[in-house]
């Protein structure tokens, strides 16, 4: 691409790679082949090697280079990660609805709810500073959790940088889990390698 600066090329490649990661891992709608994706990644790696001053922590190349770690430091949450109560009957659901309307000052106004299947994974808090992922922490006791930043940076479904990153610090909370298909594939690979199998499956 003649006439374009190394920084422009790097920015363009990063944007393309992030787009295709999202299409593949989030939307399950890949637009290019694995070979084409690898070509983009290798080109970015080459440019960053030639221009190390352009390497940033949120570059897709830094995710690939990451290694999950096993020993974790303890960190405090910006806001406590509270647990949710269960509701087992209509009375408990109605009581929950009343608390929501009272807490929001809605009076008798109806509230729209969204219900979905529960994913029983590991609660995680992702901290982004000016759009860049700076920390991943488990729920722990709600006030303090384990710093698993190096581990979450290897998960392709978690963006290292937010598009049109907001100014300041925001925290995104969710659930990390292993799909049944991924679990079965991992156990198949372990079996082929003569290794012991994992016993607990992921969510379907």
The domain boundary, picked from 31, 65, 99, lies at 65
25 in a structural domain: yes
> What pLDDT does 40 receive?
92
Give the list of residues 6+ apart from residue 174 with CB closer than 8 angstroms, or none.
Answer: 123, 124, 126
On average, the pLDDT of the chain sits at 85
Q: What is the pLDDT of residue 156?
A: 83
User: The CATH number of the domain where 37 resides is what?
Assistant: 1.10.287.610
Q: Is residue 197 part of a domain?
A: no
pLDDT (average), residues 146-155: 90
CATH assignment at residue 112: 3.30.470.30
Q: pLDDT band at residue 69, thresholds of 50, 70 and 90?
A: low
Residues 41 and 133 in one domain: no
Q: Is 167 strand, coil or helix? A: coil
One domain for residues 11 and 31: yes
List pLDDT tens digits, range 176-203: 888 888 888 888 998 999 988 887 654 4
Are 60 and 154 part of one and the same domain?
A: no
pLDDT tens per residue across span 84-115: 777 888 999 999 999 999 999 998 888 999 88
Tens-digit pLDDT profile for residues 20-29: 888 877 777 8
Nearest to 187 by CA among 178, 197, 177: 197
A 10 A CB-CB count for 59 gives 21
Per-position DSSP letters for 112-143, written without gaps between them: -----PPP-SEEEEEEEETTEEEEEEE-TTSS
Please indicate, yes or no, whether residues 53 and 117 belong to a single structural domain of this protein. no
Q: Is the pLDDT of residue 3 over 60?
A: yes
68, pLDDT greater than 70: no
Phi/psi for 147 (5° steps) reads -80, 110
What are the tens digits of pLDDT across the range 165-181? 677 899 999 888 888 88
200 occurs within a structural domain = no
Q: Are residues 92 and 167 in the same domain?
A: yes
Where is the domain boundary, 43, 65, 87? 65
79 and 178 in a single domain? The answer is: yes
Mark whether 124 and 150 lie in a shared domain: yes
Q: Is the pLDDT of residue 37 over 80?
A: yes
CA torsion sign, 159 to 160 to 165 to 166?
positive
Confidence of residue 16 (pLDDT cuts 50, 70, 90): very high
CA separation for the pair 72, 150 (Å, rounded): 10
DSSP annotation string for 60-77? HHHHHH----S---EEE-
Residues tagged active-site: 118
Which structural domain, as residue segments, surrounds residue 173? Answer: 74-184
Determine, yes or no, domain membership for 196.
no
Question: Are residues 26 and 108 both part of a single domain?
Answer: no
Residue 190 falls within a domain, yes or no?
A: no
pTM, to two decimals: 0.62
The answer on pLDDT for 1 being more than 70 is: no
Structurally, the chain folds into a number of domains equal to: 2
């Amino acid at each position: 691409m003649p006439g374009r600066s190394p920084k422009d090329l790097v920015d363009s490649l990063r944007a393309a790679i992030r787009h295709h990661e999202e299409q593949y891992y989030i939307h399950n709608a890949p637009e290019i082949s694995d070979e084409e994706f690898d070509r983009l990644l290798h080109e970015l790696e080459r440019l960053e090697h030639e221009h190390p001053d352009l390497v940033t922590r949120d570059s897709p190349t830094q995710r690939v280079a990451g290694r999950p770690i096993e020993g974790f430091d303890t960190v405090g949450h910006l806001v406590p990660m509270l647990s949710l109560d269960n509701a087992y009957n209509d009375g408990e659901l109605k009581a929950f609805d009343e608390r929501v309307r009272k807490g929001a000052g809605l009076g008798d106004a109806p509230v729209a709810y969204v219900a979905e299947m529960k994913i029983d994974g590991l609660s995680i808090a992702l901290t982004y500073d000016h759009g860049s992922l700076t920390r991943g922490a488990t729920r722990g006791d709600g006030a303090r959790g384990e710093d698993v930043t190096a581990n979450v940076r290897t998960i392709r479904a978690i963006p290292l940088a937010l598009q049109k990153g907001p100014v300041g610090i925001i925290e995104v909370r969710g659930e990390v889990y292993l799909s049944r298909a991924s679990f079965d594939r991992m156990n198949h690979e372990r079996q082929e390698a003569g290794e012991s199998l994992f016993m607990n499956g992921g969510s379907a």
